[in-house]
Amino acid sequence: MRRLLSICSVVLSLCLVAVLTPGVASAQKKQEPGTARKEMVVTANPDASAAAAKVLKRGGTAVDAMIAAQAMLGLVEPQSSGIGGGAFVVYYDAKSHKLTTYDAREKAPAAATENRFEGMGFFDAWQSGLSVGVPGIPKLLEQLYNEHGRLPPQLLIRDAKRKAQRGFPLTERTSSQVASLLALNPSCEDRLFFRDPAAFEYFANPDCTAKPAGTMIKNRDYARTLTSIAKDGADVFYKGRIGRNIVEAVQSDRAMAGDMTLDDLRNYRVVEREPVCIEYRGHHVCGMGPPSSGALAVGQILGILESFDLGTDPLGEKAVHLVTQASRLAFADRNVYVGDSDFVTVPVEGMLDRDYLASRAALITDTDLGTASPGIPPGVFDPTGPDTADNESGTSHISIVDRYGNALSMTTTVESSFGNGVLVDGFLLNNQLTDFSFSPTTVDGTPVANRVQPNKRPRSSMSPTIVLDGKGDVKLLTGSPGGSRIIGYTAQSIINVLDFGLDPQTAVDTPHYLNRNGDTDLEEPIPGVTLDYDVEMLKAQLEARGHPVQVRALTSGLSLILVADGKLIGGADQRRDGAIGGR
């Protein structure tokens, strides 16, 4: 925290100072929201926010700042995102007043078959060449830069490049995650996790212990990779030396060889898609459609809740019961209907149809629904069976508003922690293909929408979101890492701001609750990070309504920006290393 305050005061000209937070918590010192007049960035890491804020100060656009932030995150938060992974972006262009979503999700190789992971355990699939999808980040950065960039590319990567060359201290979060994975190996010699010698040398000591937090790390390979992409464009990644190195690493994986080819890389395309939006409390909540389930599930939760008054307490029994019931219903639909819409027919309009959502809301009573069944939304869709799996955890979120009024909400990922664990040219490969269903059909032979198919993108829960007010102006940016819990984190952040009037920082600090059509999860309060509340009392109240309740750690990484009264107001998630930049 001391380091974050220093960065805020010296580099970002923003300071998060302690105050007493009323209402939803007992008296305890909390962080005030960051404020700015011209521009703001919120990421999960202080170095990334500082690099992006510097670009904004130079007159860069939201896209310029995102490139700087992503380049830095790939270095200092490699367990969560990087150029070897993929992302979804929701972008608001101030000149045209248009929202666009960019799908840079990884793709399965052309040689992939439906039974790719059938019968395999998750660990074996994760730590293999079979799990690596064709990365989307470099193409995304190039396309967005060509459409919306302003500053020279070499300037955008400068801070990340210098830090990679000169060294940076390993964070506690990275070190602890390395240690957790190393502990899963049978022995130091018999390693599945960090089996790749380059990754092992980079993150671990020779005795198989994790390098401790504060260890100075250099990554000159990453600096050279960034330099090459900035100079020669994404072709060097997809068609040149870096691409050949990726293919070689995948096809020669020590655990299990993959089947990605250079043609798979050459054929990759970012897809611009129409945003998926729903009206909620007089606002338009917009996000990423299929292959993401994010905007659909968040939209269904909000659309169902439109029928209810949530009360006045964001952690009250009434609000928590209603939101978790709406979430049960949304996940029941999500698990059956959502897959890559280039391969399966997803009833997007039907799932957000007002009459349909009203019929789903009518199922909610004063007691817990139990496991909800999927509905039958209007419209055409493929007959498919449910897929409840979702392992996405190596993820990060970036929210940016620039001085020109452009806004960007981006969730970026390598899938699980440290991707598939193989380091190539200074960056980690993803394991995104384990987000597919491991079985192509249900037990009765019904195809699963999210089954593996050649060139297909796996379903995701990433939920980058931009909320517009009734006039069509940007009101709120939000999103989070967290696997399928992303949907709950994102929906709750919107509800906290729009329904309960919380400022972004208080909205982030409010303990989480969610339901993925199973247990109702309540967040264990984290002293000095989340607001305090009587979790045992709420647990007892919900159990009296029939909820199966689990109290657990819920490690979100929310990045919020609210536009209000001519100001930008930010909230950064201290469950991770969130930081705000701007002026």
* Residues tagged active-site: 395
Beta-strand pair 34-36/567-572: antiparallel
* Residue 474, Cβ density class (10 Å: 0-12 exposed, 13-18 middle, ≥19 buried): buried
Cα–Cα distance measured from residue 149 to residue 157, given in angstroms and rounded to the nearest whole number: 13
Q: Which residue has the tokens 């395999």?
A: 120
CA distances to 421, 443, 485 from 296, rounded to whole Å, are 31, 26, 14
Q: Extract the tokens encoding 424.
A: 């190539």
Alpha-helical regions (H) of 45-136: 46-57, 62-76, 122-126
**CB-based contacts of 425, cutoff 8 Å, min separation 6:** 221, 222, 224, 225, 242, 245
Q: Extract the tokens encoding 539.
A: 């647990």
Closest CA to 479 of 495, 492, 496, 463: 463
Closest CA to 526 of 2, 4, 76, 31: 31
**CB-based contacts of 318, cutoff 8 Å, min separation 6:** 310, 311
The helix (run of H) or strand (run of E) holding residue 551 is strand 549-552
Report angle CA 574, 575, 581 to the nearest 5 degrees. Answer: 30
The helix (run of H) or strand (run of E) holding residue 3 is helix 2-7
Taking the CA atoms of the chain, what radius of gyration do you get in angstroms? 22
Alpha-helical regions (H) of 89-215: 122-126, 137-148, 153-156, 158-166, 172-182, 197-203
The helix (run of H) or strand (run of E) holding residue 285 is strand 283-287
Closest CA to 256 of 402, 126, 399: 126
Cα–Cα distance measured from residue 260 to residue 246, given in angstroms and rounded to the nearest whole number: 9
What is the per-residue burial (b if ≥16 Cβ within 10 Å, else e) of 527-538?
Answer: eebbbbbebeeb
